[in-house]
Every structure is written in C-alpha cells, then in structure tokens.
Amino acid sequence: MNMFIAALLGGLVQVAGSLVGRVLLSLGIGFVVFNGVDAALSSVKTAAFAQLASASSVVPQIERFLGVFQVGTCFNILFSAWASRLVLAGISGGALKRMVLK
C-alpha cells in the first residue's frame, strides 16, 4: 500500500510541475538563458586590447597619448563594470537566466 501511495504522489508531483509550466507559458511567462556570456566578455576584451596595441604601429606617437590619458586603465574599468553588472544581473556558470513576459 505504501508503494502505491508513493508512486501516486510521485506521479502527481510530476504532472503538477508540467501543469504549472504550461500555465505559465500560456500566460506568456517564460525563462530565457543566455549561454557564453563570460566567453563573449573575454573575447571582446581581448579584441579591444589587441586593437589598442596595434594602433601604435599606425601612429608612432599614439603610445604617449594612450599613456597620458590612461586608456588601458579606462578599458579595464569599463570591462570590470560590465562584469560586475552581469554578476548583479544573475550570471552564474557563464549563463544569464532571465524571466520574460510576452
């Protein structure tokens, strides 16, 4: 008898979970997961610093300009702020999960 009740409760929990999901979807509520956010951040940072380093071959005096205005430090501050914003938005494990309403 206990086995029957356990199986019945397990089935009801599974049906209730899918039923709640279907109700939320019919109301236009869902979840969106953005994967690879940390990879995108690191690739953009690498590309920005590569472009910054290659600028010195085009204009010889640009290194002095970039050093005086601390452009590299500014880039680091911007990317740190972007990473902090993603952490506050709920990024975990390289994926950003958001609830959306349609």
Q: Residue 41 in contact with residue 86, Cβ under 8 Å?
A: yes
Q: How many angstroms separate the CA atoms of 13 and 9, rounded?
A: 6
Quick: pLDDT tens for 34-91.
Answer: 777 778 888 888 998 888 878 777 777 777 787 788 888 888 899 889 888 877 877 7
Measured in whole angstroms, the distance separating CA 68 from the mean position of its chain's CA atoms is: 33
Domains of the chain: total: 1
Q: What is the mean pLDDT of the chain?
A: 75
How many Cα atoms are found within 13 Å in the side-chain-facing hemisphere of 96? 16
- Domain extent, residue 21, equals 2-101
